């Protein structure tokens, strides 16, 4: 696929990110020669340390967590609205421990200049991040009903705050 990307301002794409987030976006990681992607729906987009920042929440049971712990970068790829539903469901249920998700149709890795972690080629928008800070959740500081409802198996999240180093839109098809 011949995909043309153009760099866009982070501020311009906030609505697009927020609207798609609840339906799922792709979080991609790479450590050494191993890359992997998974679906995420929890993330925060904003400003930290006077930089555009994007934070993702990864449970410790995920293969992605293992790779994130060894990586300096991550990418977030946002599908065009209401597309890639099957790919999101697949990447949100299958673990990269069991299957190489990049061997599936529609999940093709594309490398951008200056970033060692690929993006998902078929998506309309890509946010490239360098990890600035990470923090494993402290159960004693989480709202009690969230602990009860969302962490029954003690599978807590680590929050990874990425400094946004580039945002790219697929200009062959406007969002
Ligand atoms: C819509 C959707 C949203 C999800 N959001 C998250 C998330 O924000 N954080 C997380 O740790 N897992 C999330 N998951 C679960 C992972 O995507 C799933 O467990 C995946 O198979 C993990 O892949 P991995 O083991 O290759 O990392 C989500 C799943 C779906 C379907």
| The CATH homologous superfamily of the domain defined by 5-170 | Electron Transport, Fmn-binding Protein; Chain A (2.30.110.10)
3-state secondary structure the chain: CCCCEEECCHHHHHHHHHHHHCCCEEEEEEECCEEEEEEECCEEEEEECCEEEEEEEEECCCHHHHHHCCCCEEEEEECCCCCCHHHHHHHCCCCCCCCCHHHCCCCCEECCCCCCCCEECCCCEEEEEEEEEEEECCHHHCCHHHHHHHCCCCCCEEEEEEEEEEEEEECCCCC
Over residues 67-91, the pLDDT tens digits come to: 999 999 999 999 998 899 999 999 9
Q: Does residue 115 surpass a pLDDT of 60? A: yes
Over residues 144-160, the pLDDT tens digits come to: 999 999 999 999 999 99
Lining residues, ligand 1, CB within 6 Å: 24, 36, 38-42, 57-59, 62-64, 92-97
Nearest ligand 1 atom to alpha carbon 56: 8
Atom 7 of ligand 1, nearest CA residue:
40
Please tell me the predicted confidence (pLDDT) of residue 152: 96
Please tell me the predicted confidence (pLDDT) of residue 154: 96
Across all residues in the chain, what is the average pLDDT? 94
Q: Does residue 11 surpass a pLDDT of 90? A: yes
**Mutational test site, ligand 1, from 62, 74, 102, max ligand atoms within 8 Å of CB:** 62
Please tell me the predicted confidence (pLDDT) of residue 4: 86
For ligand 1, the distance from its centroid to the CA atom of residue 65, given in whole angstroms, is 11
For ligand 1, the distance from its centroid to the CA atom of residue 89, given in whole angstroms, is 9
Domain ranges of the chain: 5-170
Q: Does residue 40 surpass a pLDDT of 50? A: yes
């Amino acid at each position: 696929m011949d995909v043309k990307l153009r760099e866009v301002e982070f501020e311009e794409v906030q609505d697009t990110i927020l609207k798609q987030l609840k339906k799922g976006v792709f979080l991609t990681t790479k450590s050494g020669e191993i890359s992997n992607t998974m679906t995420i729906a929890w993330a925060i987009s904003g400003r930290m340390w006077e930089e555009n920042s994007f934070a993702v929440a990864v449970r410790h049971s995920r293969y992605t967590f293992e790779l994130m712990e060894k990586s300096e970068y991550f990418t977030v790829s946002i599908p065009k609205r209401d597309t890639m539903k099957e790919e999101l469901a697949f990447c949100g249920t299958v673990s990269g421990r069991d299957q190489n998700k990049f061997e599936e149709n529609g999940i093709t890795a594309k490398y951008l200049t200056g970033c060692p972690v690929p993006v998902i080629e078929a998506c309309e928008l890509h946010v490239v991040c360098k990890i600035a800070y990470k923090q494993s959740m402290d159960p004693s500081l989480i709202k009690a009903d969230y602990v009860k409802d969302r962490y029954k198996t003690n599978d807590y999240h680590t929050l990874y705050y990425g400094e946004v180093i580039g945002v790219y839109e697929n200009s062959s098809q406007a969002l």
